[in-house]
Amino acid sequence: MLFSSCSKYEMDRTIFIPDPDDYNLPAYTEWGYNTFGAEYERDYFLVSNQIVPCKILYKDNQLQFSLSGTIRNGKEMTLSFIFPAEPMKNYKNLMLLHDKDIDLTNEKCIVKILQDDTETVLEIINSGSLYFKRVQLLTIDDVENRVILSGYFCFDFKQNNFPSFICNGRFDLGITEHLFYAY
């Protein structure tokens, strides 16, 4: 019993392996390390051990994929991607996202940032992509445990009437029934 509790904790914690080209970012992996990171202008938006890194909501034929972490100065931030998606009733349905590239410039897509209790809908300009490169169902001892989402994101947006960017984004997240909501 104690062993299974420890292994579940190990599966849910964040493992940050630095990227060899930019040690401030996590390396791209497909192992469910519960990590993400991106360049945000001259700073970094990164996973934090004190915040649940990802929550997913399916509602009204749209999926909201939210990454929560900090800017390097410790300020909390949530980046949310909202886009049309096929019907999903549970976390296992996330398998439908395998090899899906979401064009964030599409008018049906919304990208938001939440900081200091203020939510801002971003105006995506020029280009933007959220790519679910690999989605895999992890089973342990023949029991489905979680879906691992791995991929990339990058987009340009207007902030205070000037172009800004979030780029070199990558994520590797283990999603269980506790992180996926549908209604």
Distance, in Å, from the CA atom of 49 to the CA atom of 52, rounded to the nearest integer, reads 8
Q: Say if residues 85 and 76 touch (Cβ distance below 8 Å).
A: no
Q: Please report which helix (H) or strand (E) contains residue 102, including its range.
A: strand 100-103
Q: What is the spatial distance between Cα 116 and Cα 33, in angstroms, rounded to a whole number?
A: 27
- The SS3 of residue 178 is coil
Q: Decide if 14 contacts 34 (C-beta within 8 A).
A: yes
pLDDT recorded at residue 7? 54
How far apart CA 24 and CA 52 sit, in angstroms, is 20
Residue 109 is predicted with a pLDDT of 98
pLDDT at 5: 40
| Model pLDDT, residue 131 | 98
Say what the pLDDT of residue 8 is: 56
Written as one string, the DSSP assignment of 128-169 is EEEEEEEEEEEEETTEEEEEEEEEEEEEEEEETTEEEEEEEE
What pLDDT was estimated at residue 58? 98
CA distance 136 to 172: 11
Q: How confident is the prediction along the chain (183 residues), in pLDDT tens digits per residue? A: 333 444 555 788 999 999 999 999 999 999 999 999 999 999 999 999 999 999 999 999 999 999 999 997 789 999 999 999 999 999 999 999 999 999 999 999 999 999 999 999 999 998 999 999 999 999 999 999 999 999 999 999 998 889 999 999 999 999 999 999 999
Residue 139 · residue 147 · CB < 8 Å: no
18 Cβ neighbours under 8 A, 6+ residues apart: 24, 25, 26, 27
**Structural domain boundaries in the chain:** 27-177
Comparing CA positions, the residue from 168, 171, 165, 105 lying closest to residue 133 is: 171
Rounded to whole angstroms, how far apart are CA atoms 179 and 135?
16
How much is the pLDDT for 79?
A: 98
pLDDT of residue 174: 97
Query: pLDDT value at position 11?
Result: 81
User: What values do phi and psi take at 20, rounded to 5?
Assistant: -65, -25
